[in-house]
């Protein structure tokens, strides 16, 4: 998974939002599949219109997680969250202003309110896991 700053740099070169959506979908296609057992209620993110699962593989001192969704664009949004948060310390995850980082790529302006709520739910869940 590319670093978020690399994704943001790629976004800067893509003018058309249809192309940016395809890029987000392609990011999601590169995620490893979760097992059926990992697609559990415990791993499900509440507040997403599509089904989203996040599996946390916390190996101190960094937070690492994997995820999946049943919708292609949302799976790409999961990939964005992984690129933004994975590999950081718990303190870095808690301190990260995810909204500001996502504003760098104008994401909120170009996704539906339901998907925007889903992204907020993913961020909330990730930060909660970093607080344990």
pLDDT tens digits for 7-58? Answer: 999 999 998 999 999 999 999 999 999 999 999 999 999 988 899 999 998 6
Domains of the chain: 4-130 (3.90.1010.10)
- pTM, entire model: 0.93
| pLDDT tens profile 54-98 | 999 867 788 889 999 999 999 999 999 999 998 899 999 999 999
Cβ neighbours of residue 11 closer than 8 Å, sequence gap 6 or more: 20, 23, 105
Q: Catalytic annotation on 48? A: yes
Q: 95-104 burial string, b = 16+ CB within 10 Å, else e?
A: ebebeebbee
Out of 27, 48, 74, 77, the active site residue is 48
């Amino acid at each position: 998974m590319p670093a978020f700053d690399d994704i943001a740099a790629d976004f800067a070169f893509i003018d058309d939002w249809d192309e940016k959506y395809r890029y987000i979908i392609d990011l999601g296609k590169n995620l490893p599949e979760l097992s059926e057992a990992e697609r559990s209620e415990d791993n499900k993110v509440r507040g997403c219109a599509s089904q989203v699962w996040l599996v946390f593989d916390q190996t101190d001192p960094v937070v690492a997680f994997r995820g999946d969704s049943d919708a292609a664009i949302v799976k790409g949004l999961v990939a964005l969250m992984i690129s933004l948060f994975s590999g950081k310390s718990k303190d870095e995850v808690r301190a990260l202003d995810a909204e500001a980082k996502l504003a760098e790529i104008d994401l909120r302006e170009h996704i539906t309110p339901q998907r925007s709520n889903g992204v907020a739910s993913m961020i909330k869940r990730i930060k909660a896991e970093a607080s344990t």
